[in-house]
Structure 1
Amino acid sequence: MNPPIQLRSLRSASRLVRLSRDGGRAATPFLTRYNHYATQSSLDSSKNPQPKRKSITVTTDDGRIKWGQLSRGEKAARATQQSVNFLVILAGAVMTCGVFTFLYLDVFAPNSKTNQFNRAVSRVKNSEECLALLGDSKQIRAYGETSWNKWTRNRPISTTIKKDRKGNEHMRMNFHVSGPLNDGVVLVHLVKLAGQHDYEYHLLALDVRGHHRVYLENANAAKKAAAKARSTIFGIQWR
């Protein structure tokens, strides 16, 4: 049978008294063991210190650290970085839209300069009078202003667009044509009346040195002919 609890307590107390009489020789291992464990835990904590996080800046922030773990300065750095990124994206989008708008208005739109140039060249190549001066249509080449430097490409087509007092839009274009027989200059004058969407030919002519001008469109001559026809009544021309 196990001894009573009071008896075990008395035995433990007597043992402690004997240990104290022996000069602490028996108590020393107990204390040393206690100190050993305390020292070991401190060594373990020094061997495995918690890694310190580097402070982020505008250039080093990669977004891995959560917003709640940032200091005020780091939050300002992240906000600055995101603002700069947004401005860069916005500037790129604006430039892209500008390029597409320019290409559409200058190349793809029905009334663009490029389309009007191509139409005028087709008109010249389909005209028998122009082919008689220039030669085979397959060998005719159309280009802009020439340069004195042979290594420089031909310049863009000379084109001007202006509006008159009535709100009519005038597009004037000059370009060169070269064929197996002769070289020439094509003159184009287009007019878009106020409220309309399409241009109408006011003048389309070919000038070849040493030859008379070839008119493919001449609105002034047509107006004069119509006015002359209206002024003639019963075979009498009224002035």
Structure 2
Amino acid sequence: MASIYKPTEAIQLLRLVTKRPFTVQRRPATRIAFSTSRPAQAAQSSSSTPPPQPTRRAVTVTNDTGAVRWSELSPGEKASRTVQQSFNLSVVLVGVVMTCGVGYFLFADVFSPDSKTAHFNRATTAIRNHPECQRLLGPGSEISAHGENSWSRLARNRYVSSTTEMDKWGTEHLRFRFYVEGPLGQGVVHVHLTKRPSQDEYEYHTLAVDVKGHKRVYLENADEKTGSKVAPKIFGARWW
């Protein structure tokens, strides 16, 4: 059935449409909220779990520095540290013994009043001050003394030949020789020192200088003082 066209109703509809503005409804933009809940949870979870500790190197005899505590070492590592420390201690002890030996040698051979070096210096001073030695060798300030000659120029005039012995009466005998040179000539010095059991220091028995072409020069001669007499025996022994 066809509807009946009514012009009045159509006009009213047109008026209503023209009065209302045409608006397009827009969907409101949704704002994304910033939330830190997830990173906070991640940070909390990371802080709660301890970081993995790096594995340390095994301690051996060659690489042990003592940084690792004794309680943290395994039985094998403890044995390695014990071996290393024992070796270090033995090295220190050997060094101490060698130092004491060198010190004793220096004192006995150089600094001691009864050392060979001290007697060498005293004999050299006596020769430089002796008038007859100055006449044969030259001025005392120009007389030099040295030990045995050597083929090596680096080791020349270093070694002083000497011997030490004790006789059957308990007297110590120290004998050595060295060489002297001066502007006028050269000579060989013979030194003989003795120390009886009742004495604390050596005394000169013989101090003589041999210069080629001249008579031996005696600076000290015990045989000449005593007339080459030998002490008599009392109850089978010599007492002086």
Please state which band the TM-score falls in when normalised by the shorter chain: 0.7 to 0.9
Whether 1:109 and 2:120 are equivalent positions in the alignment is no
Runs of at least 4 residues off by over 2 Å: 47-50, 147-152
| Native 8 Å contact 2:191 2:206 kept in 1 | yes
Partner SS for 1:52 = coil
Match of 1:164 in 2: 167
Displacement after TM superposition at 1:131 (Å): 0.7
CA deviations over 1:147-204 (Å, ceiling 9, x no partner): 3455651241111111111111101011100011110011100001113210010000
Match of 2:144 in 1: 141
Match of 1:33 in 2: none
Whether 1:193 and 2:164 are equivalent positions in the alignment is no
Query: In 2, Cα distance between the equivalents of 1:54 and 1:226?
Result: 83
Whether 1:181 and 2:184 are equivalent positions in the alignment is yes
Query: In 2, Cα distance between the equivalents of 1:97 and 1:108?
Result: 15
**AA aligned opposite 1:74:** E
Whether 1:131 and 2:134 are equivalent positions in the alignment is yes
TM-score normalised to structure 1 length: 0.72
Query: In 1, Cα distance between the equivalents of 2:194 and 2:77?
Result: 62
| Native 8 Å contact 2:223 2:229 kept in 1 | no
Displacement after TM superposition at 1:221 (Å): 1.2
Residue ranges of structure 1 left out of the alignment (5+ in a row):
1-36, 228-239
Matches within 5 A, 1:62-81: 62-81=65-84
**AA aligned opposite 1:129:** E
Matches within 5 A, 1:40-51: 48-51=51-54
Partner SS for 1:64 = coil
Residue ranges of structure 2 left out of the alignment (5+ in a row):
1-40, 231-240
Specify whether residues 152 and 110 from structure 1 end up closer, same or farther in structure 2 by C-alpha distance, changes over 3 A only: closer
**AA aligned opposite 1:115:** A
Size of the aligned set, in residue pairs, is 187
Displacement after TM superposition at 1:50 (Å): 2.9
Displacement after TM superposition at 1:64 (Å): 1.1
Match of 2:93 in 1: 90
RMSD: 2.3
Query: In 1, Cα distance between the equivalents of 2:223 and 2:173?
Result: 15
> Out of 49, 52, 58, which is 1:55 matched to?
58
